[in-house]
Amino acid sequence: MQIIESSTMYDVIIVGSGAGGGMATKVLSEAGLKVAVVEAGPFFDPKDPKQQTQFKWPYESPRRGASTVRDFGEFDMALGGWNIEGEPYTQKNGSKFAWFRSRMLGGRTNHWGRISLRFSERDFKHRSLDGLGEDWPIGYSDVKPYYDRVDKLIGVFGSKEGLENEPDGFFLPAPKPRLHELYYMDGAKKSGVPVIPSRMSMVTKKVNKDRGICVYCGQCGRSCQYYADFSSGSCLIFPAQANGGQIDLFVNSMVREVTTNDEGKATGVLYINKEDRKEYRLKGKVVVMAASACSSARILLNSKSKQHPGGLGNSSGLIGKYLHDSTGASRGGFIPAMMDRKIYNEDGVGGMHVYSPWWLDNKKLDFPRGYHIEVWGGLGMPNYGFGFNPNSINEMIGEDVGGYGDGLRDDVKRYYGSTLGFGGRGESIALESNYCEIDPTQVDEFGIPVLRFNYQWTDHERYQAKHMHETFEEIIHNMGGTVFGDAPGKDQDYGLNKPGEIIHEVGTTRMGNDPKRSVVNKFEQMHDVENVFIVDAGPFVSQADKNPTWTILALAWRTSDYIVEQLKQQNI
């Protein structure tokens, strides 16, 4: 096949424009470097009325907001999902790994939950504490200055709590708890579960001239036309362009591999333009991988050469290994005290206003590490497929089941806002035996070999899920409520979500000091290839009981500073 070559020599080529890629684009372009961003999905700007779904009514959708092609509902701003036509992935040994991909400028940051938590010192050094997994080669003090910068640049609301495992940051004012959250606080308190204001990246106060302030529409999952929530395009890439950054955006461009020279150094990337289906070559002095943990692993494993026979920078054989996702389990309930509520607008940010950080000591538990609790409920916009079933509540409290017309309408009004639920999100242990690799036989629609997953949970994660359900039941009972359904048993892994389903996949190119036991060094630079860096969640050594994105952003900034320094010193 003919390869079309660009004559431009970029200082840096960034593959992917999500959290990590967006941050690298901003920092590197503002340092004066000429940057190419190569993104598999189309251009996306939530301000563009043609692309907007914010403020659309359920009746504007053929299925009243229920999913048609988008996994989280008709209006959710994820172009992509668990399954993308023409881009399959496969499983090995009965694995059921679920892989969520967003194909668009900004990646998954256009519709993520925006829960923005810092890892603590303990999270970086957990092996030293419980002997499991591996310690990171860096600690909280290395990342703290960058967490601080990310807080100030992007904006995160929260409250200073002085908790050792939940380091405080620079917080904007947090929104007040709503009725269901007040009930939750009360129920949780009775069980000794702490509840604090959420830490989320929606701006509740002016942070800069480019960004609006949240108007509490509750629709962050649709991406915010005021740029009041954090999305990589609106908060990093567009401002970097506006600041005069030399940024060439290549959208609808699927990177196949990183190219190398005879010394095994990276020389650029090969990508397929999805519109004309032709193959193009870009040349760069440095390549920054930010295609997300599994996509970056795929590209590197597909970049084979004489110097890198097992894939680029894979002399350790560890690319793809130590893949791990957060643990997750959910449960909901019905709270009679919240029945027949006065109906008013209590919209807030697109997510919870309070949450529970991990609170227990593992020495007294049958599983390692911990989880935090996310809360949902309230008077959200009724959408088909995203509410509650009045008949299941009728059945639960012994009332007549069935009905239509006025009867059904009355039931819906009675129960509206009386249900709530929790999601536990916890830390799993990274294992070498959980991995993604290249499927030897299958390719995607562009002819690129696809990923095959091999992933099994262990009892560490199962017992964590069991504990989540026990906690959720106790809290719902404390609230005088009735729990939906029975607690899932051993045969259902105690309700533990399938790996990948929490969409916090990390660890495929892990960081370390020993090139035999890790893929990148503490600056996310490949041990084997000095001019390739990885700024997505691939370098994570462990997950923590926190959502990963704030740490991706902080590390991407730190790595970008390092790249600028290394280029200045002509080391790469």
Ligand X SMILES: Cc1cc2nc3c(=O)[nH]c(=O)nc-3n(C[C@H](O)[C@H](O)[C@H](O)COP(=O)(O)OP(=O)(O)OC[C@H]3O[C@@H](n4cnc5c(N)ncnc54)[C@H](O)[C@@H]3O)c2cc1C
Q: Of residues 123, 229, 444, 461, which one binds ligand SF4 by CB under 6 A? A: 229
Among ligand X, ligand SF4, none, partner that 299 touches (CB below 5 to 8 angstroms by kind): ligand X
In the complex, the smallest distance separating the C-beta of residue 39 from ligand X, rounded to whole angstroms, is: 5
| Pick 137 or 539: Cβ nearer ligand X | 539
Q: Applying CB under 6 A, which of residues 218, 239, 499, 507 lies at the interface with ligand SF4?
A: 218
| CB of 215 or CB of 443, closer to ligand SF4 | 215
| Contact flags string 327-366 toward ligand SF4, x per CB under 6 A | ----------------------xx----------------
Q: Does 107 bind ligand SF4 (CB under 6 A)?
A: no
Distance CA(457)–CA(326), nearest Å, equals: 11
Give the separation between CA 243 and CA 29, rounded to whole angstroms. 9
- Is 30:240 a contact under the CB 8 Å cutoff? yes
Is-contact 67 385, C-beta < 8 A? yes
- Looking at residues 524 to 563 of the shown chain, list those that interact with ligand SF4 (rule: CB under 6 A): none
Nearer to ligand SF4, 284 or 350 (CB): 350
Q: Round to whole Å and give the CA distance between 536 and 551.
A: 10
The entry of ligand X, ligand SF4, none that residue 419 binds, CB within 5 to 8 Å by partner kind: none
Regarding 376 and contact with ligand SF4 (CB under 6 A), the answer is: no
Q: Which is nearer to ligand X, 45 or 411 (CB)?
A: 45
Neighbours of 183 (CB within 10 A): 24
- Least distance from ligand X to the Cβ atom of residue 570, Å: 29
Q: Which is nearer to ligand SF4, 221 or 313 (CB)?
A: 221
Helix (H) or strand (E) holding 287: strand 279-289
| 76 near ligand SF4 (CB under 6 A) | no
Q: Which regions of 74-226 does DSSP assign to beta strands (E)?
A: 80-81, 90-91, 101-102, 196-197
**Residue 512 one-letter amino acid:** G
Shortest separation between residue 556's beta carbon and ligand X, angstroms = 8
Q: State the distance between the two ends of the chain, measured CA to CA, in whole angstroms.
A: 31
Which residue from 244, 187, 138, 86 is spatially nearest to 422, judged by alpha carbons? 187
Q: Where are the alpha helices (DSSP H) in 416-548?
A: 459-478
- Residue pair 499/455 in contact (Cβ under 8 Å)? The answer is yes
Residue at 220: amino acid letter: C
Choose between 185 and 291: whose C-beta lies nearer to ligand X. Answer: 291
Q: Going by DSSP bridges, is the β-strand pair 482-483/449-454 parallel, antiparallel, or unpaired?
A: unpaired
Q: Which residues bind ligand X (CB under 6 A)?
A: 15-21, 38-41, 72, 100, 102-104, 107-109, 111-115, 254-255, 290-292, 295, 299, 503-504, 536-537, 547-549, 552
Strand-pairing partners, residue 375, are 422
Would you count residue 224 as binding ligand SF4 (CB under 6 A)? yes
Residues 506-525 touching ligand SF4, rule: CB under 6 A, are: none
Q: Which is nearer to ligand SF4, 107 or 507 (CB)?
A: 107
The nearest distance, CB 161 to ligand X, in angstroms, is 19
Q: Do the Cβ atoms of 436 and 296 come closer than 8 Å?
A: no
Q: How far is the CB of 223 from ligand SF4 (least distance, A)?
A: 7
Say which entry of ligand SF4, ligand X, none residue 483 contacts (CB below 5 to 8 A, set by partner kind).
none
Give CA separation, 475 vs 116, 184, 321, 416, 462, in Å: 25, 8, 37, 20, 20
292 binds, among ligand X, ligand SF4, none (CB under 5 to 8 A by kind): ligand X
| C-beta separation of 168 from 406 below 8 A | no
* Token digits of residue 515: 């090139």
Q: Is 228 in the site for ligand SF4 (CB under 6 A)?
A: yes
Query: Which helix (H) or strand (E) is 5 found in, with range?
Result: strand 3-15
| Crossing angle (nearest 10°) for helices 179-190 and 459-478 | 110
Q: Which does 18 bind (CB under 5 to 8 A by kind): ligand SF4, ligand X, none?
A: ligand X
Backbone angles phi, psi at 109, to 5 degrees: -70, -10
Specify the residue, 427 or 536, whose C-beta has the smaller distance to ligand X.
536
Closest CA to 232 of 289, 153, 147: 153
- Of ligand SF4, ligand X, none, which one sits near residue 547, judging by CB under 5 to 8 A according to partner kind? ligand X
Residues 214, 297, 535, 552: which binds ligand SF4 (CB under 6 A)? 214
Beta carbon nearer to ligand X, 411 or 439: 439
How far apart are alpha carbons 205 and 182 in whole angstroms?
A: 24
Identify which range of 65-73, 128-136, 221-229, 431-439 contacts ligand SF4 by CB under 6 A. 221-229
Query: Which positions touch ligand SF4 (CB under 6 A)?
Result: 54, 202, 214-220, 224, 226, 228-229, 349-350
